[in-house]
A and B are shown apart, each in its own frame.
Chain A
């Protein structure tokens, strides 16, 4: 017995109804329009640049800068440095304010996020008011507030406010002790690195041992000893054997000015304060959402297994909350880095202020400068989001 399959071909249609043909048509149309726009823009730009007698190409990066930058982490002088050096100075300034900002805003943000979930009514409400206020006011207004209204009225250097432990505050910024490194000071960071590696190995060994035998090891104590103890021990040993590896030069109060020590620009302080307090409000919400995302059943199950509240938090709630927290947390870190470009409003020499401001104005090479600056931010974002994708794949819940 055979089933006869009817072999009638479908009715013939115009190829114009073929979705593939239409798809190709739309895409070709898009490519043509976009290329045309680019072509027009490029020809206009070339013509305009020639008329304005502005050079093009990246040769300007080697030209002498001819301006000073108030905060430079590398050697920089108006006469001896090029625009390329100015770019690096600006980039480093952006990175350092972002890195320090991320460190402090994480601490503050987690504290406030946990405070918002506190059973203490008062603490929860104060945290809520903080978050709602800071989130709903533009960062620019907050930066101007910190820079002009708070740091502006600080006294002249001769009337510096002494805060103890070698800290002084005046209208030129924050002054503090400057570390002076001896020749063998490298041993201390080396000890720290060894401590970190040791901790990592010890933790792996400890968790393998616990998995195999069920016995726990004093991980916390060993970590503390390796990470904090080892560098301090190195320091003490070096100080006993030879000269003190790190000594501090304290700022001294003269008649008119402070001498010595390390100066931190008021612009830096204002930018840091603004970024940290603003971003912390967002991080607090991320943390709160992450903790709330762990279902109550998890806490109850942990309790019925006999875990103590602290253990429940550390072993059950936080690892699961982190899965929810980390992706939006990274995007907040990126936001902080991008927002550090508001430095231009208060004159902190970050990448945008130095490169898109001064260098752009001096050279007039708008296209090159804008392209370089955007490429920097774009690289930072893309690298971070690539890392984030890897992380997400690693922590993703593996379903059956």
Chain B
């Protein structure tokens, strides 16, 4: 009996020759084939992009570097008809005007004060942004209290010359505030000591601030009309961030509050500000602020857009902070309440530290927007970087064809470096936070 094994038809009867190895699976050639020329459509796309780059990049490089004029003292260097070269960027113009672009018309002998302001700002920003910096709580006190006061004294010269009457009034008000807090503590049977510490603390901080502003450090007064350039750009941005963060947190808490009137007021403010363009807010601050004050009071011209930007940024900051508050798990609130913490204790000790930490990327992004928006103060006549460039661009001493383009290229570069740096930072934080959650 012979058994024939029934070989199904789909089984190969003989050995098939092995396929050749994929001839290029790695290495630069395979990479290029995979990523640039995989199929006709991709090939066409790649060629189109190459053509676009060929058309745009070499002329740009030529303009910015190869044909650029790097040194010179006036327009002659950048004009063909006066012996210069006019096809490229006129960096000599920027070099000549760089101190104007940095300080505006700030009194020349006093510019070291601006340099110190820049340094103080860098320290504060570095302290707050470096997540592992020592004593970040001190950093916050520095950035939101000491630094603004010092900057005010440095930049204006301080010596605000408050009258004796002002000080007497302040002392009476301060005493009243402390007395009121003490009274409330007594009728609520709360700790009298705490009330006195809080009241004394508030009055003390404001008093020290005012005393510092009043003190004569022997610095010459520099009127704000002379300030300009990068100084003003950074100043507007700094004031925006210093005010918008605390104010934005308050607004966000207000919007999440259970009290209907508080919530409604916050919502109206936030939605109103977010619904209108910044430029209208700036024009409003410029034209309407003086109307709302008593006739003998004036607001400094630089102060008006500062107030406008601070309000504007607060509304956007409030929405970012609200996102953080909403992202907190409910257990955190309940846990804090079950420990018997009061609302301020719960917010300050439990919720806000966590909520603010997770919205750092959002805060930085808002700040990038604010930083770009500072350029709008140029429209209401403040000499920020853009305005100083606009003013120098038409300087007859530098009348040459490539001046405008050079000026804008410089402004673009300046803003790009700052904003791009901040956005990389925020991406880095985001990645770190994400990895912290993943575990």
Given A30-B262, A136-B420, A377-B275: 18 more A-B contacts, CB < 8 Å: A16-B188, A27-B262, A41-B292, A44-B291, A44-B293, A48-B291, A48-B295, A119-B42, A123-B45, A137-B415, A138-B375, A138-B386, A141-B412, A141-B415, A341-B280, A366-B288, A377-B276, A378-B272
A47 within 8 A of B: yes
Q: What separation, in Å, do the CA atoms of A380 and B192 have in the docked complex?
A: 52
Q: List chain B residues, Cβ under 8 A from A34.
A: 265
Min distance, Cβ A117 to any Cβ of chain B, angstroms: 13
Q: List chain A residues, Cβ under 8 A from B280.
A: 341, 352, 356, 370, 373-374, 377
Q: Which among B262, B293, B408, B423 has the highest number of chain A CB atoms within 10 Å?
A: B408
Q: Are B416 and A49 in contact (CB under 8 A)?
A: no
- Tally chain B residues at the interface, Cβ within 8 Å: 59
Q: List chain B residues, Cβ under 8 A from A139.
A: 372
Q: List chain B residues, Cβ under 8 A from A51.
A: 295
A233 within 8 A of B: no
Min distance, Cβ B364 to any Cβ of chain A, angstroms: 13
Q: What separation, in Å, do the CA atoms of A49 and B287 have in the docked complex?
A: 12
Q: List chain B residues, Cβ under 8 A from A31.
A: 261
Q: Are B275 and A378 in contact (CB under 8 A)?
A: yes
B323 within 8 A of A: no
Kindly identify which residue among A137, A149, A344 contacts B404, using a CB–CB cutoff of 8 Å.
A149
Q: Are A140 and B375 in contact (CB under 8 A)?
A: yes
Q: Are A149 and B277 in contact (CB under 8 A)?
A: no
Q: Are A23 and B275 in contact (CB under 8 A)?
A: no
A163 within 8 A of B: no
Q: In the complex, what residue of chain B is closest to A360 when comparing beta carbons?
A: B287
Q: Are A122 and B49 in contact (CB under 8 A)?
A: yes
Q: List 9 A-B contacts (CB under 8 A).
A: A26-B259, A27-B261, A44-B292, A139-B372, A341-B279, A356-B283, A370-B288, A374-B284, A381-B274
Do A48 and B290 form a contact, CB below 8 Å, given A23-B258, A133-B416?
Answer: yes
Q: In the complex, what residue of chain A is closest to B374 when comparing beta carbons?
A: A138
Q: In the complex, what residue of chain A is closest to B38 when comparing beta carbons?
A: A119
Interface string of B400-439 (1 = CB under 8 A from A): 0100110010011001100110010000000000000000
Q: In the complex, what residue of chain B is closest to A52 when comparing beta carbons?
A: B291
Q: What separation, in Å, do the CA atoms of A96 and B224 have in the docked complex?
A: 39
Do A120 and B275 form a contact, CB below 8 Å, given A27-B261, A153-B401, A352-B283?
Answer: no
Q: Are B287 and A126 in contact (CB under 8 A)?
A: no
B345 within 8 A of A: no
A92 within 8 A of B: no
Contacting residues of chain B (37-74) with chain A, CB-CB under 8 angstroms: 38, 42, 45-46, 49-50, 52-53
Q: What separation, in Å, do the CA atoms of A145 and B291 have in the docked complex?
A: 36
Q: What separation, in Å, do the CA atoms of A381 and B274 have in the docked complex?
A: 9
Q: What separation, in Å, do the CA atoms of A373 and B261 have in the docked complex?
A: 27
Q: List chain B residues, Cβ under 8 A from A136.
A: 368, 372, 415-416, 419-420, 423
Q: Are B277 and A367 in contact (CB under 8 A)?
A: no
Q: Are B35 and A367 in contact (CB under 8 A)?
A: no
Q: In the complex, what residue of chain A is closest to B422 when comparing beta carbons?
A: A136
Q: List chain A residues, Cβ under 8 A from B290.
A: 48
A45 within 8 A of B: yes
A229 within 8 A of B: no
Q: Are A367 and B420 in contact (CB under 8 A)?
A: no
Q: List chain B residues, Cβ under 8 A from A300.
A: none
Kindly identify which residue among B49, B188, B294 contacts A123, using a CB–CB cutoff of 8 Å.
B49
Contacting residues of chain A (4-55) with chain B, CB-CB under 8 angstroms: 14, 16-17, 23, 26-27, 30-31, 34, 40-41, 44-45, 47-49, 51
Min distance, Cβ B128 to any Cβ of chain A, angstroms: 21
Min distance, Cβ B345 to any Cβ of chain A, angstroms: 15
Q: What separation, in Å, do the CA atoms of A7 and B274 have in the docked complex?
A: 54
Q: List chain A residues, Cβ under 8 A from B373.
A: 138
Interface string of A118-150 (1 = CB under 8 A from B): 111111001000001101111111101100110
Q: In the complex, what residue of chain A is closest to B402 when comparing beta carbons?
A: A149
Q: List chain A residues, Cβ under 8 A from B211.
A: none
Q: List chain A residues, Cβ under 8 A from B38.
A: 119
Q: List chain A residues, Cβ under 8 A from B423.
A: 132, 135-136
Min distance, Cβ B407 to any Cβ of chain A, angstroms: 9
Bin the interface of chain A by size: 35 or more
Do A140 and B420 form a contact, CB below 8 Å, given A51-B295, A145-B412, A377-B277?
Answer: no
Q: Are B50 and A367 in contact (CB under 8 A)?
A: no
Q: Are A141 and B375 in contact (CB under 8 A)?
A: yes
Q: List chain B residues, Cβ under 8 A from A27.
A: 259-262
Q: What separation, in Å, do the CA atoms of A152 and B402 have in the docked complex?
A: 11
Mark B residues whose CB is within 8 Å of A. 35-36, 38, 42, 45-46, 49-50, 52-53, 187-189, 258-262, 265, 271-272, 274-280, 283-284, 287-288, 290-295, 368, 372-373, 375-376, 378-379, 386, 390, 393, 401, 404-405, 408, 411-412, 415-416, 419-420, 423
The main secondary structure of chain B at its interface with chain A is: helix
Q: List chain A residues, Cβ under 8 A from B260.
A: 27
Q: Are B287 and A144 in contact (CB under 8 A)?
A: no
Q: Are B291 and A126 in contact (CB under 8 A)?
A: no
Q: Are A30 and B265 in contact (CB under 8 A)?
A: yes
Q: Are A120 and B283 in contact (CB under 8 A)?
A: no
A339 within 8 A of B: yes
Q: Are A23 and B36 in contact (CB under 8 A)?
A: no
Q: In the complex, what residue of chain A is closest to B290 when comparing beta carbons?
A: A48
A165 within 8 A of B: no
Q: In the complex, what residue of chain B is closest to A34 when comparing beta carbons?
A: B265
Q: List chain A residues, Cβ under 8 A from B274.
A: 381
Min distance, Cβ A302 to any Cβ of chain B, angstroms: 21
Q: List chain A residues, Cβ under 8 A from B271.
A: 381-382
A253 within 8 A of B: no
Q: Which among A40, A137, A344 has the highest number of chain B CB atoms within 10 Å?
A: A137
Q: Are B376 and A140 in contact (CB under 8 A)?
A: yes
A338 within 8 A of B: yes
Kindly identify which residue among A23, A30, A121, A144 contacts B35, using a CB–CB cutoff of 8 Å.
A121
Do A370 and B287 form a contact, CB below 8 Å, given A26-B262, A133-B416, A149-B405?
Answer: yes
A61 within 8 A of B: no
Q: Are B45 and A118 in contact (CB under 8 A)?
A: yes
Interface string of A368-400 (1 = CB under 8 A from B): 001001100110111000000000000000000
Q: List chain A residues, Cβ under 8 A from B187.
A: 14, 16
Do A341 and B277 form a contact, CB below 8 Å, given A126-B49, A140-B376?
Answer: yes
Q: List chain A residues, Cβ under 8 A from B288.
A: 45, 366-367, 370
The 7 A-B pairs of least Cβ separation, nearest first, read A381-B275, A136-B419, A41-B292, A121-B35, A338-B277, A366-B287, A138-B372
Min distance, Cβ B410 to any Cβ of chain A, angstroms: 10
A342 within 8 A of B: yes
Q: What separation, in Å, do the CA atoms of A382 and B276 have in the docked complex?
A: 10
A345 within 8 A of B: yes
Q: What separation, in Å, do the CA atoms of A144 and B412 have in the docked complex?
A: 11
Q: Are A122 and B50 in contact (CB under 8 A)?
A: yes
Q: List chain B residues, Cβ under 8 A from A342.
A: 279, 376, 379
Do A14 and B188 form a contact, CB below 8 Å, given A23-B258, A48-B295, A136-B419?
Answer: yes
